[in-house]
Structure 1
Amino acid sequence: MPAERMRCAQHDVVIAAPAGVVYGLVADAAHWPRYFPSVVHVEQLESDGRQERHRLWDTAEGQVRSWTTRLVFSSDLRRVDFWQEQPAPPLTSMRGSWTVEALGERRTRLTLHRTFTVARNDPASAAWAERTLDTTARTDLEGVRHHAQHWKDLDGLMFSFEDSTRVNGPAELVYDVLYRVRDWPQLLPQVPPVDVREDPPGVQLVNWQSHTTDSLPARTAQAVRICFPHAGRIVFKQTAPPGPLVAHTGEWSVLPDTTSVTVTAQHRAVLDPDRIEAVLGAGTDTAQARRHVRESIGQENRAVLELARRHAESAVRVL
């Protein structure tokens, strides 16, 4: 059998931001879902300060893929090397590096270099891999560029919040409500109709029409939900976030204790300063946009939490 051909791909972008800022974003793997549009979720498995091991989920051409990857950080060189222990098919190997090169005090080149092989050197698989790697590289580099160039304002643009409630009922029934997102529109008037595709099991792709304001037309919003039933968790990312957001990730969690169950909705959001006034009106500032997002998402959170509470506590199930 002939050896698998090693293939290479390289992409770069010049960013109007200090090299330290750019490296800080690339080296912050836990928050890649905020900065990298293709990355849905990252679960850290190991860390010793210089190396990290992660389980990562991403999207490519409407598919959700997952693999385990190792990262090695060289802060003095502003370089992050990586290799995938369990590449997602059709890849059979993948390794590469992120390198950050200072071009000036506030001008930086970020380069993503990758080498990979595909199963049996299949031409169709190779073409698919090259196309998707090119697409994700370009979108992720652009995501880092966008966030880095707003580095002075990131503390105000990035925010998180949560809503929670106590439930006197079985944790399994609470989780059941959170998992069955396709049924929410039937029971909650504030939730628009959704289209849900689950492939593979436990990974849900959700599409719906979102109205950000009365004056703007509806736009398609999409989220990926990754379900961990044994841990009572559902993590999600809106891959096409509505309104003034450029990124929106979060988690639903169900935590039983000796007396009842705590169910929590956590959200991590990033505002797009270029869209705030276009979506919410002239003169809207960052603080007002944060309040708008918090309230609009909070209303839906509280409705779902109340639905979960009634479902778990009632002898007559609402689903």
Structure 2
Amino acid sequence: MAQTDQRRLADTAEPAVHHTSHTVLVQAPPEAVYAIVSDVAQWPLRFVPNVHVEHLERTATTERIRIWATANGEVRTWISRRELDPVAHRVVFRQEVSSPPVAAMRGEWIITPAGDGASHLELTHDFQAVDDDPAGVEWITRATDRNSAAELDAVRELAEGYARLGELELTFEDSVHVDGASDDVFDFLYQAQEWPARLPHVDRLELTEDVPGIQVMAMDTRTADGSVHTTRSIRVALGRERIVYKQTEVPALMTAHTGEWSLVPAGDGVLVTSRHSVTIRPDAVPGVLGENATVADARAFVQRALSTNSTATLRHARAYAEARRG
């Protein structure tokens, strides 16, 4: 059970530093817990609040990353530096560029043995609010409490089932070459509000973009068997060469789905790739695919369904871009 201890550590002219601590007992050894905590590139697939992580710098023991994540229902982004200690099973982090109302943030993941093969995991945060605004302090505390609890629960579940991660997680991609302009392909992919008129497998799509480059959308998609499922996603444009996304509402067979559209110059055209990373939900397999279905069956089913739709999108994007060039 995560617990919170918040206290004011300083009372100076500078904004006060506030401290929170959340803990959880994990029935897994420290090595497994540390493997989850240290692998930040996988956090969007494994942690509910995280949308995307981009490595800016990386060595064996340090990394500088940009994170997009939800906080109190809003999408925020910041840059952090992390120091990794695989021997002590600790990760120290500090935000270099914060997102208001956060003025400064640092913290630590601390993993210690708890006996009988278990581990004690503590996640701490020390933060300051812009102008020491009480409303900002409350907002940060609420976001930190919510996200820390979600992340600790995810670490516990993942570490306790660490042996099955390789079976449940899969990544795959599909590509097409487009004899057209990269900007036209990007526009087709980014202007998702036009997809119901442009893509036969999209029945409905609602999109909002309150912050330029960050889209929130809900989409009804029709699969090859005629069934329709609803997904909700957050998408982030990284220049005009990549769109990354995370589904915040996924079909029954998955617990998580992240993806990316990437555009790379190729000759006179562009190579466009759709990449998916998925986590299978094993307890849903019998109900969706039948009593005798296995996780392997679910992996094949999900890959086939996602590849079918993303390949269709790629082909329509190609036709759109090539028609504009022609």
TM-score by length of 1: 0.92
Per-residue deviation, 1:240: 2.4
**Structure 1 CA distance for aligned equivalents of residues 224 and 168 of structure 2:** 20
Give the match for residue 291 of structure 1.
300
1:233 aligns with 2:245: no
What is residue 102 of structure 1 aligned with on the other side? 113
Compute the displacement of 1:211 (Å): 8.1
Whether the 8 Å contact between 1:23 and 1:78 is mirrored in structure 2 is yes
Which residue pairs with 1:263 in the alignment? 272
Q: Give the 3 Å change call, closer, same or farther, for CA 192–22 of structure 1 in structure 2.
A: farther
Separation (CA, whole Å) in 1 of partners of 2:238 and 2:265: 15
Comparing 152-161 and 100-109, the one that deviates more: 100-109
Alpha-carbon shift at residue 74 of structure 1 (Å): 1.2
Q: Deviations over 1:174-227 (max 9, x none)?
A: 11111111111222231231211113101111123578999x9x8753211111
What amino acid is the match of 2:61? R
Q: What secondary structure sits across from 1:274 in the alignment?
A: helix
Instruction: Give the direction of change, closer, same or farther, for the CA distance of 1:12–1:166 in structure 2 (3 Å limit).
Output: same
Shift of 1:243: 2.2
Report the alpha carbon displacement of residue 260 of structure 1 after superposing the two structures with TM: 2.2
- Answer yes or no: is 1:111 the counterpart of 2:122: yes
Change (3 A) 1:167 1:76: same
Provide closer, same or farther for how the CA distance between residues 174 and 151 of structure 1 changes in structure 2, counting only shifts above 3 A: same
- Deviations along 1:263-314, one digit per CA (max 9) or x if unpaired, are 1101111112233224433222110000111011111101101111110111
Q: What is the match of residue 25 of structure 1?
A: 36
Q: Deviations over 1:44-92 (max 9, x none)?
A: 1112211111111101232110011000011111000000011111010
- Give the equivalent residue in structure 2 for 1:14: 25
User: Which one of the candidate residues 38, 56, 59 is aligned to 1:48?
Assistant: 59
| CA shift for structure 1 position 229 | 3.1
Match of 1:189 among 200, 204, 227: 200
TM-score (norm 2): 0.90
Match of 1:4 in 2: 15
Q: State whether structure 2 residue 157 is matched by structure 1 residue 143.
A: no
Query: What displacement does 1:32 show?
Result: 1.4
Q: In 2 relative to 1, CA 213–90 (structure 1 residues): closer, same or farther, beyond 3 Å? A: farther
Superposed CA deviations along residues 146-199 of structure 1, whole A, max 9, x for unmatched, are 222221111111111111111111111111111111111222231231211113
Once the two structures are superposed, the pairs formed by residues 138-177 of structure 1 within 5 Å of their partners are: 138-177=149-188
Cα-to-partner distance string for 1:3-48 (whole Å, 9 max, x where unaligned): 3111111111222222211100101111111222111111111122
Q: Deviations over 1:226-246 (max 9, x none)?
A: 11234x111111122222211
| 1:77-88 matched pairs, under 5 angstroms | 77-88=88-99
Unaligned runs of 5+ in 1: none
Q: How has the CA–CA distance of structure 1 residues 210 and 302 changed in structure 2, closer, same or farther, with 3 Å as cutoff? A: closer
Asked if structure 2 preserves the Cα contact closer than 8 Å seen for 1:244 and 1:280, the reply is no
Corresponding residue for residue 77 of structure 2: 66
Q: How does 1:194-205 map to 2 (within 5 A)?
A: 194-205=205-216
The reply to whether residue 253 of structure 1 matches residue 262 of structure 2 is yes
Tell me how far apart the structure 1 counterparts of residues 253 and 234 of structure 2 sit (CA, whole Å): 19
Q: Which residue of 1 aligns with 2:234?
A: 224
What runs of 5+ residues in structure 2 fail to find an aligned partner? 1-11
- 312, 315, 319: which is aligned to 2:321? 312
Structure-1 separation of matches of 2:223 and 2:87: 44
Aligned residues: 314
The residue number in structure 1 matching 2:50 is 39
For residues 230 and 316 of structure 2, the distance between their equivalents in structure 1, rounded to whole angstroms, comes to 25
Are 2:253 and 1:244 equivalent residues in the alignment? yes
Secondary structure of 1:68's aligned partner: strand
2:271 maps to a residue whose letter is T
Distance in 1 separating the partners of 2:229 and 2:71: 21
Amino acid at match of 1:222: R
User: Aligned equivalents of 1:199 and 1:278: distance in 2?
Assistant: 38
- Matched to 1:270, the amino acid is T
Change (3 A) 1:102 1:56: same
Distance 1:211 1:246 in 2: 20
Name the Cα RMSD after superposition: 2.2
